[in-house]
Amino acid sequence: MAVSTCTGVLKPLPPVYQKLVIKNLTIIRPPMLKIYYWDSFDITGLNKKLKSNKKEHEHFFDMPMRLIHSHPLKMIFWIQNLSAKPLELTLKRIQNCECVPLQTRVGFNQFRQLFHCPHRRLINISQEHLRMKPDEVLALSVTGYFYLYGAHALSFEVQTSDERQFLWHFKLEISAFDLEKCLVTKELLPVNIKHFQRVTQPIWVQNISMMNLAFSFATRDRGLKLHNSNLTVPRQSVWPLMAEYRPLDYENELEVTLIHDNAKICYKIKARGVLEDEAEISDMPLKDTECSEYLYVIYPNRLDFEICLKESRTQVVNVHNYGQKCMEFRWQKYLG
């Protein structure tokens, strides 16, 4: 009786890596809303990579343009270990500039080859090694400094204790004040074309300078109406130009003229008409993680009202001050 033998080669199962996620994001003294940073950094896409079983990935963090010598921007990424085992993260900067060691005087008639790289301090990550317990959330502090003109990209290699490897690139643009870069909004939110009604939404205007600036706006588009066309934007901040818009077609291009100190800049903004309402989908946490450096937190930081005609409703907003000094809060109206 013949005995069958197994001649196949058993393939080892692929390794199962420990999973991570960016639980929340805190911006210290933010000039823009947190949703802007969440979308600009593509945290949703990063979380998909961190929760996948891929050994390696690459991700880009596009930071908003800042003025030369403006205040540092500190960001806190709240990282959570989703696995049931401890996990360690090690971060290391990778040089991707062309800086080389230079001969430097270190004493009387003594010289040494030293590395003088002006780029290495543009991004500072305070924790180079993180030890995370199961389900623990730790803060990874990243600070951007703006002292070197131009567009820069700083790369960091992240290695995990289970031999995963990530490449994270932080992109910075440091510039002088430029009217052509004052409008942040490139495309309006889509509007249902079947409703035949105008929808009010913000066009975000940024002022990266160190003084308050007065802008005037105008448009010739029939479907676009600007409410606060004379707008004063505080220094180092972003302010909304409220626009009432009804699309005339499925694909539209609007022209908005910005006027400042007798200088005119014409911006083109895309606008879409849709047949079905698109629900706003974002996994950004509305509640901010408590942080000693984030001195005050407002809950909720988004007000939603469902209100009928000639009806009045009240919503309570709680303001928590975690600092050691008294602070004064005032309501600021966007519309005059």
The total number of residues shown for the chain amounts to 336
Binning pLDDT at 50, 70 and 90, where does residue 217 land?
Answer: very high
**pLDDT on residue 336:** 46
Query: Does one domain contain both 109 and 52?
Result: yes
- Asked if residue 330 is part of any domain, the answer here is no
Question: Which has more confidence, 84 or 110?
Answer: 84
Query: Per the omega criterion (within 30 degrees of 0), is the bond before 64 cis?
Result: no
Query: Does one domain contain both 209 and 141?
Result: no
Could you say which of 274, 292, 317 is where a domain stops? 274
What are residue 160's DSSP bridge partners?
A: 89
- Asked if residue 3 is part of any domain, the answer here is no
pTM of the model: 0.74
Could you say which of 228, 245, 274 is where a domain stops? 274
Query: Does one domain contain both 26 and 171?
Result: yes
Query: Does one domain contain both 36 and 126?
Result: yes
**pLDDT-wise least confident of 88-102, 140-154, 193-207, 290-304:** 290-304
- Phi then psi for residue 49, to 5 deg, are -70, -40
What is the average pLDDT score of the chain? 82
Query: Does one domain contain both 71 and 208?
Result: no
**pLDDT-wise least confident of 23-27, 71-75, 107-111, 119-123:** 107-111
Query: Does one domain contain both 36 and 146?
Result: yes
Query: Does one domain contain both 37 and 170?
Result: yes
β-sheet with 224-226: strand ranges across: 199-207, 237-245, 224-226
Judge whether residue 57 has pLDDT over 90.
yes
Please, are residues 192 and 275 in contact by the beta-carbon 8 Å criterion? yes
- Asked if residue 329 is part of any domain, the answer here is no
Query: Does one domain contain both 36 and 167?
Result: yes
Q: Which residues contact 86 (CB under 8 A, 6 or more apart)?
A: 131, 132, 133, 134, 161
- Asked if residue 92 is part of any domain, the answer here is yes
Could you say which of 227, 243, 274 is where a domain stops? 274
Query: Does one domain contain both 141 and 224?
Result: no
What are residue 62's DSSP bridge partners?
A: 171
Domain that holds residue 37: 20-175
**What does the pLDDT average to over 208-232?**
88
- Asked if residue 210 is part of any domain, the answer here is yes
- Asked if residue 205 is part of any domain, the answer here is yes
**What does the pLDDT average to over 43-60?**
93
Our measurement of the distance from residue 61's CA atom to the centroid of its chain's CA atoms, rounded to an integer in Å, reads: 8
- Asked if residue 4 is part of any domain, the answer here is no
Query: Does one domain contain both 67 and 205?
Result: no
Judge whether residue 198 has pLDDT over 60.
yes
- Asked if residue 270 is part of any domain, the answer here is yes
Judge whether residue 168 has pLDDT over 60.
yes
Range ranked top by mean pLDDT from 239-243, 290-294, 330-334:
239-243
pLDDT in tens, 292-313: 665 555 555 556 667 777 788 7
**pLDDT on residue 194:** 78
- The count of domains in the chain is 2
**pLDDT-wise least confident of 31-40, 42-51, 111-120:** 111-120
DSSP per-residue letters across 283-328: ---SSPPP-TTS-EEEE-SS------TT-------EEEE-SSS---
**What does the pLDDT average to over 188-197?**
81
Binning pLDDT at 50, 70 and 90, where does residue 90 land?
Answer: very high
Binning pLDDT at 50, 70 and 90, where does residue 50 land?
Answer: very high
CATH number at residue 117: 2.60.40.10
Query: Does one domain contain both 25 and 87?
Result: yes
Query: Does one domain contain both 109 and 185?
Result: no
Question: Which has more confidence, 100 or 309?
Answer: 309
